[in-house]
Amino acid sequence: MVTIPAGDIVLHDEKSRRSWRVGVQPFLLSRFAMTRAGFGVASDGGDVADDSAFLPITDVSWNDAVAFCNRLSVQEGLTPCYGGISDPEAHGVTVDVDATGYRLPTEAEWEHACRAGSNDVRYGELSAIAWYRDNAGDTVHVVGGKQPNAWGLFDMIGNVWEWCWDIYDPTIYGGYRVFRGGGFADRPHACRASCRRKSHPTFRVEDVGFRLARTIR
């Protein structure tokens, strides 16, 4: 995992034209999105030994992702971050950010890490950093195949969207959760550091995965 320094990030919602500033404390973030191999081993699914091992795990819901974080934390002797994860609507899910275990990044943490100190819409030229509609061949690719950002994080833009902790807008969408980053089937407009999408916590699709975070203690 990569140590992400503290900073401030201004989040934007294009639909509502709302902006808000969030302070981010130092934290740890996985260099790559969770792979099929990593997800399978930690989920008692056995080793993934074929060519798909280092593809990012997809078709995982937000609920699946937080349950995985707890499961991996227990396996490694860490304190799980999440409670109340049995509700499929995720209304009762709580997070202890001071716990030692794995968790999803907040969207402020995610965007701060994605930008890696840059104010540009992307951390490099799109085709060099991302698998997206024009170069992906309508399929997901192994992690780490494109250039990383300045903090050594791969595929923050493109390949697969990544679930974050946050509720998108509870007054309009209820418990819908945020995902970030753009995917292999998306046009350039979606492959930007600031682009926000959302769906129900039970939603599973072929271009949404997740990346692990941990609080620094």
pLDDT at 43: 59
The series of mean pLDDT values per 10 residues for the chain, 217 residues long, is 96 87 97 95 58 92 97 97 90 94 98 96 97 98 98 98 95 94 97 96 97 94
pLDDT of 139 reads: 97
Dist CA 4 CA 125 (whole Å): 22
2-215: CATH topology is: paralog of FGE (formylglycine-generating enzyme) (3.90.1580)
pTM over 0.85: yes
pLDDT of 88: 83
Q: Please, are residues 166 and 213 in contact by the beta-carbon 8 Å criterion? A: no
Residue 34: DSSP 8-state: P
Closest CA to 154 of 118, 116, 185: 116
At 115 the pLDDT is 97
pLDDT of residue 40: 84
